[in-house]
């Protein structure tokens, strides 16, 4: 009888330890799942990210993380956070029409301009403003330039989709006192996706 009591006590002590061990074992899986979901719902602004939203009927509901929440997510209390992150991401994507001239910024700058350009990721090409430096003419430009502005033209030359080297050489090749730069202010998904304007559109509407 005494040994039986010891067995029962041992079982009671081991059960919580097993449960804690199971939680510790499952935590890396749930944590990695949470990280992967965060990466998935964050708008990356890639080549076609967000384009579907621009052409999707308001009655069509997107696939939300609530459909993919596992019992382990609920057990750790992660289910509400996952659904809220998906909801915030969907609401943050706003279509910006690249065929609307009001979504472009045009500046005339003297050299040195003081603009740090970075090439877009993926196969679309093109460059965007990474930083406006304090020691160049762009710092006092009106209208002011912003990070992520997409360079589409240099004087009368369209550089939309051009490589980094081609875009920078187009700026270096200008000989006037100032150089006219045209930027699109919006996500690359709309500038380089199915709604991408043609070079003729730019020549007619922005480069005259």
> Is residue 164 within a helix (H) or strand (E), and if so which, with residue range?
helix 164-172
pLDDT by residue for the chain (208 residues), tens only, comes to 444 454 444 444 444 444 444 444 444 444 444 433 333 333 344 444 444 454 445 554 444 455 566 766 666 666 566 666 655 555 567 899 999 999 999 999 999 999 999 999 989 999 999 999 999 999 999 999 999 999 999 999 999 999 999 999 999 999 999 999 999 999 999 999 999 999 999 999 999 8
Closest CA to 170 of 178, 161, 180, 159: 159
Cα-based angle 21, 23, 29 (whole degrees, multiple of 5): 120
Which residues partner with 105 through β-bridges? Answer: 183
Whether residue 89 contacts residue 42, with contact meaning beta carbons closer than 8 Å, is answered with yes
pLDDT at 208: 82
């Amino acid at each position: 009888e005494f040994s039986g009591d010891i067995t029962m006590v041992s079982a009671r002590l081991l059960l919580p330890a097993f449960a804690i061990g199971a939680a510790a074992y499952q935590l890396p899986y749930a944590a990695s799942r949470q990280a992967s979901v965060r990466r998935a719902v964050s708008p990356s602004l890639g080549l076609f990210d967000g384009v579907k939203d621009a052409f999707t009927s308001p009655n069509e509901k997107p696939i939300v993380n609530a459909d993919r929440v596992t019992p382990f997510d609920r057990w750790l209390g992660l289910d509400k956070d996952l659904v809220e992150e998906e909801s915030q991401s969907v609401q943050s994507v706003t279509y910006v029409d690249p065929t609307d001239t009001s979504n472009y910024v045009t500046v005339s700058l003297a050299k040195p301009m003081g603009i740090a350009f970075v090439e877009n990721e993926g196969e679309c090409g093109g460059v965007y403003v990474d930083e406006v430096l304090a020691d160049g003419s762009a710092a006092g430009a009106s209208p002011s330039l912003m990070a992520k502005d997409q360079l589409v033209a240099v004087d009368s030359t369209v550089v939309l989709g051009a490589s980094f080297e081609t875009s920078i050489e187009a700026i270096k090749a200008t000989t006037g006192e100032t150089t006219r730069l045209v930027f699109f202010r919006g996500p690359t998904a709309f500038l380089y996706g199915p709604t991408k304007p043609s070079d003729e559109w730019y020549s007619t509407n922005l480069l005259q």
